[in-house]
Structure 1
C-alpha cells in the first residue's frame, strides 16, 4: 500500500521538495534520485495534511515554476 512522502533535495545550489507516492521512504528517495541524479537528498518524511497543505510540494513529474 503506497504512502505519500515529501522528499527534500538540493540541486544546482537550490533547495526543493517533491511529493512522491511510494511504499516506503527509501523507495521515495530512490525515485527522486532516478529522476534527478545530480540532486542531493536531504530528507524524506511522510506528508502531513496541515503543513503540506500550507506549503505544497510539487510532484516528481509535475510542472515546475
Structure 2
C-alpha cells in the first residue's frame, strides 16, 4: 500500500499509469490511499505504525478491482 499526500486531486489510475514502465510490476503498489497529511511524531517523523494500524480503509483504491471512470 502507498499512502499519498497530494494537494491536487489525482485519480488512482493516473498514479498506477505513471508507475507503469518506471518501476517493476511487483513494486507497483496494489493499494493507494490519498490523505491530506501524514500522522507525525512530535519530532516530525512519520508515524508508520499508525498507518499500518489503520490498514485498508473504505477510501483505499485496489488496483485489482479499480475501474476507470
TM-score range for the pair, normalised by the shorter chain length: 0.3 to 0.5
Name whichever structure is richer in strand by fraction. 1
TM-score by length of 1: 0.36
Q: Which has the larger radius of gyration?
A: 2
TM-score by length of 2: 0.34
